[in-house]
Structure 1
Amino acid sequence: MAIVSRELPASGYAVQIDGRLKAEFATRDGARTGAEELKKRFPMLKIRIYDAQTQTREDVELS
């Protein structure tokens, strides 16, 4: 069985779903829009946005 490891991006933003990186974005707005759309469709998932510049993660919650 092959092990797939995605490294954290060096720049931009990434959407993390249940602890796994799924998509990368150049802008925060793009990452937020994508993450919110996923959260609306799948509210049971833990979705976070990773900011490569500050190396922080932000949880995405529906309002």
Structure 2
Amino acid sequence: MVAAIRELPTSGYALEVDGRLKAEFATRDGARAGGEELKGRFPMLQIRIYHVQMNARGI
């Protein structure tokens, strides 16, 4: 399972899993690949990509 982020990231993208930030990525493609892999293993999870600089979810 992906470990929780202790501090909010300052740049890039993060995976939000069931409302909690779990992993940090430098690129959107990396975050998408990580989210798809995690969703494939655990389809019941709600996974969103969080853009840190825009403070936006689900992009």
TM > 0.5 between the two?
A: yes
Structure index of larger Rg: 1
Give structure 1 stretches of 5+ with no counterpart: none
Residue number in structure 2 paired with 1:45: 45
- Which whole-Å CA distance do the structure 1 matches of 2:28 and 2:48 have between them? 12
Moved segments of 4+, more than 2 Å: 5-8
Q: Distance in 1 between matches of 2:55 and 2:34?
A: 19
State the TM-score, normalizing by the size of structure 2: 0.81
Count of paired positions = 56
Query: How far apart are residue 50 of structure 1 and its match?
Result: 0.4
Q: What does residue range 25-44 of structure 1 map to in structure 2 within 5 Å?
A: 25-44=25-44
5+ residue gaps, structure 2, are: none
